[in-house]
A and B are shown apart, each in its own frame.
Chain A
Amino acid sequence: MSAKTILGQTAEIAGPKKAFIIPKPEVAAAMIKRAERPLLVIGAEAQGIETADGDLIDTAIKVSKSGISVVATGHIVGEFRRRGTEVHSMPLMNLGDRLRDPEWLGLDGKGRYDLAVFVGFSYYLEWLVLNGLKSFAQDLTTISLSRSYQPNAGWSLGTMKAEEWKEVIDVIVKSIKEGN
């Protein structure tokens, strides 16, 4: 797997504290499986991002069936519903604001998340929200599974080509499911 820290957008440079590169997909899967309260955050660009399952929404549906909480931002929950799956829905700004709140009990009211995994966003928007969480939600671990390195996550995939990324995501999803 690539370990490139090439930024998705030229000027969205990293600050002094940068994301660790996820060395191989199994590591990301292990982090997700090890988390007590993981949350998969799916951005509105997920529809149309090709994966081994179809698109990123199909993949997220698969993950949700592993018992991991999935939240769709923007209006993209509508697409999940059209495909017959209910996931949580919350605007990205509302979610970022709540993730930094130590008293927030999550979308299901069962307690605070210890891991938030982001994918399916425009690069700059994910960059910004992750940076808010980097400084203001320091006890929350964040992972970016986007195809370009996200410096403001705690952990991020390296920048890679679309085909390689599809394989990496597929391995992560399969690894998660194997653990259940």
Chain B
Amino acid sequence: MFKGIEIEVGRIQDSTWDEPMGPTPFPSVGTLRNWDRKFLNRYKPFYMPFCDLCCLCTYGKCDLTGDKRGACGITMAGQQSRMVLIACCIGASTHAAHARHMLDHLLDEYGRDVPLDVALNTGVEAPHVRLVCGIRPKKLKDLEDVLDYVETQLVQLVAAAHTGQEGDNIDFESKAFHAGMLDHVALEVADIMQIATLGMPRGEPDTPMAELGYGTIDASKPVIMCIGHNVLPSVDIIDYLMENDLFGEVEIGGLCCTAHDMSRYNKRSKIIGPISWQLRFIRSGIPDLIVVDEQCLRTDVMIEAKKLGIPVIATSEMSCLGLSDRTHDDPDVIVDDLVSGKADGALILEPRRVGEISVKTVQGVAERRGEKKPFDIGEISVIAQECSGCMECVRSCPNTLEIAAAVGAAKEGDYVPLAMLYDLCVGCGRCESACPVSLPIISMMTKANEDAIADEKYPIRVGRGAIQDTEIREVGQPIVFGEIPGVVALVGCANYPAGGGDVARIAEEFLKRRFIVLTSGCSAMSIAMTKDEDGLNLYEKYPGNFDAGGLVNVGSCVANSHITGATIKIANIFAKRNLRGNYEEIADYIYNRVGAVGLAWGAMSQKAAAIAAGCWRLGIPVVVGPHGAKYRRMLLGRKEREEDWNVYNARDGEEVYVGPVPEHLFYAAETVEEALVMIAKLVMRPNDTNKGRAVKISHYIDLHKTHYGSMPDDLHLYVRRAQDIPFTMKDEIMKVLEESGWVEDKIAIPDPTLLDRMVRRRG
């Protein structure tokens, strides 16, 4: 009965798995420290302090500027790296708490033995769990061990940030990497369990199209707006609508990742838009009921909802919003209280009680819609008269938008400048908070754009989840040899410097160049929201398969694990490297061979920081937009320092120079054009074949010439031998190389590794 199972104290080992255990199962905080230091020695942190003080203990505040030290002895570098660690811990804890909440609920509802059947044609169901923990989860219950491990490690990492613990900045950085690695495990756990239990797509490339945008909502019906990331309460609403045949009578739409996962559960639910639309959509007066779960919510949602008489149902202990816990009250009494306005909202902590209460409430509330209507468009110019032109709105705007000038024009009845700001605005509302006469600037902007918004309707391919093993087999070789020029993942939040159209532009640039483009979260939504002259968006023009020229929407934030998971599976499935508890070897493989780059153009949150950190430890470079510089430190290589770019040749153990590939591990680009060129460069890897390197160099040169108006001045660092030169550019490139003193074969093409133990034979 118990054949094949060994029970250790507190942990179950699977002895039916014949893959040998690697050296680092369930790594502790310091296990991979030496691995991290290889990267941190090559990519040294460049700190840009976001604050010169430390205010974490009662000795302080301490001024750490320059060489000063705090009362505990901490340096500026130490403090900045400590804040990076804290941010990554917050992000990873958020995903882990999300996963734990879901797991507890799903174990109760579906039982412990639900098989983790998470993707078609796939044997490697959980690459991160296998790699980090050294276990092969088969059933839902197996994920408990994994989360126990993640939670224990996160507690230790947070402890390291206490006063008088860690002091060395590089050790703080290593711990941030650890948090990132844990984050991807937690992401994977969260997503595979919801796929396995809720019937979400299992890696099908051709998932159906869902609808995105304001215009998808039929505002003549009662409208429920769900905001957040944890789909369980929304699932119950959808189920209730289905079971009671009410889907045609009530509209349900979502913002942010909950919306992605709602569409993965049932494509008839609508995706309203990215997280930055919260304030706009609440103010539009369209929603009759707001249901919030967790993460990236506006913490003033109650204040905003109350202004328009919209009841709020909170559903997570992470975000109770000051509401009374009504979980165990009679649903009809709760509905009466919400519909009558006796209660502004209710906290319902049992997901399976949310559906009935929400639907009954929205039906009741919709009847009194309009009692507290937002203002009419004609009133904008009247409201604008209050503006004194103090410019506080402009100074408070993250993107220094010309708000004052637009409001000034509105005074004269010209609403066009206000409407023009709509696409550039990140929706934070700081302008309103700063305004001394409390102008509702976001509402004015939204109202001024009312007609355009009403027609906003875009198709978006439903998040597919994992990449199938069979797809990995097909593309593993061309990726590793460099013949598919690269894998670019456009992920993260919507804190864009100049609107979401930039994300679509970047995606299209690389799709045209036959890169594999993956996406998730708010970025996946932004990609949908740009149409070409024929009215088509990128989801309509490019297929969803994991192959050259494919645009792969994996889904929500937690589905980001499938992007890094795909790189891990390349090492395992294509290269036959063991995954089991074998982190360093797999990361070494990815770093030296898989030309993957992450781009988080609008990265905003601590969760995005943790996701990036998980990429760094795997050796995947991450580019962020200019606001990403506020993460306060970059990890930058110095391409001119030859001594930094040596690897071992695994064939004979010789240390050889391979050039600065990839040049950086974490990098903020000032402009889209800079990001395009940098991404094209960062996909180069030491293992590229001549043909593959030639393809990559041709894209790098082409983008550089387009945007910088010249050939790159560092080609001599990337052309290893004449065969690396794209044939059509040979004369032009040779001229540049000769001028820079290029020497053929100075840059080696070894079997590259950073790990001494991977050397097969000493020369």
Contact = CB atoms under 8 A, between A and B. Distances in A.
Interface of A: 6-11, 15-17, 43-44, 73-78, 81-82, 89, 91-94, 96-98, 100, 121-125, 128-129, 131-132, 134-136, 138
A94 B50 CA distance: 18
A11 to B, nearest CB: 7
Contact of B678 (A10, A16, A91): A91
B707 A78 contact: yes
B49 A132 contact: yes
DSSP majority for the B interface? mixed
Interface of B: 44, 46-53, 63-67, 76-77, 392, 395-400, 430, 434, 497, 626-627, 629-630, 632, 634, 636, 638, 664, 667-671, 673-674, 677-678, 707-710, 713
Given A75-B677, A75-B707, A122-B626, A91 B669 contact: yes
A73 B675 CA distance: 12
Contacts of B399: 122
B63 A44 contact: no
Nearest to A137: B66
A97 B671 CA distance: 18
19 contacts: A9-B395, A10-B392, A15-B49, A16-B52, A43-B670, A74-B669, A74-B670, A75-B674, A81-B708, A81-B710, A89-B713, A91-B669, A122-B497, A123-B400, A124-B626, A125-B670, A132-B46, A134-B66, A135-B64
Given A17-B65, A92-B668, 7 more contacts: A15-B65, A43-B670, A91-B669, A93-B629, A131-B50, A132-B49, A136-B76
Given A15-B52, A16-B52, A93-B636, A77 B630 contact: no
A81 B627 CA distance: 27
Nearest to A127: B48
Given A74-B674, A81-B710, A96 B52 contact: no
Contacts of B709: 77-78, 81-82
A76, A93, A100 interface centre (most CB from chain B within 10 Å): A93
A9 B63 contact: no
A136 B633 CA distance: 12
Contacts of B397: 9
A94 B399 CA distance: 23
B673 A122 contact: no
B46 A8 contact: no
B667 A93 contact: yes
A6 B395 CA distance: 10
A77 B708 contact: yes
Contacts of B66: 17, 134-135, 138
A125 B395 CA distance: 14
B44, B76, B434 interface centre (most CB from chain A within 10 Å): B76
A10 B434 contact: yes
Contacts of A15: 49, 51-53, 63, 65
A97 B638 contact: yes
A82 B48 CA distance: 32
B395 A135 contact: no
Given A124-B398, A138-B67, A44 B671 contact: yes
B47 A136 contact: yes
